[in-house]
Amino acid sequence: QVQLVESGGGLVQAGGSLRLSCAASGNFFSVNLMGWYRQAPGKQRELVATVTRGGSTNYADSVKGRFTISRDNAKNTVYLQMNSLKADDTGVYYCYAQFVSSTVVSGIRRTYDYWGQGTQVTVSS
């Protein structure tokens, strides 16, 4: 079993800040890519930001300069610091992680994608 537990969502006024956290737990060898995706009502889920185990980051153009993604490899936790929030940032935010299996099959450790349950972020204008 692998689990991603998110926290930090809530209601905030435009221009405010929120910090999301996502902790991975369970049986796995390692965690490679981690990130955050979001889905607004009536829209497709979109990438917000990702971070590799080595710390390389990638952001959606809409959040560059406002959001910062980071991770603590020792804690298997990824964070998303969201500043200067806009009403358009409203949506359900999902934590994503790519896990490497603790088991070896035919000499290969397979990778698996896992998603958190989602946490609501609402920005009022």
Q: Is the per-residue pLDDT at 34 higher than 90?
A: yes
| pLDDT tens-digit map of 37-76 | 999 999 999 999 999 999 999 999 999 999 999 999 999 9
Q: Is the per-residue pLDDT at 1 higher than 80?
A: no
Identify the helix (H) or strand (E) that includes residue 26. strand 18-26
At position 81, the amino acid (one-letter code) is Q
Strands 119-124 and 67-72: unpaired
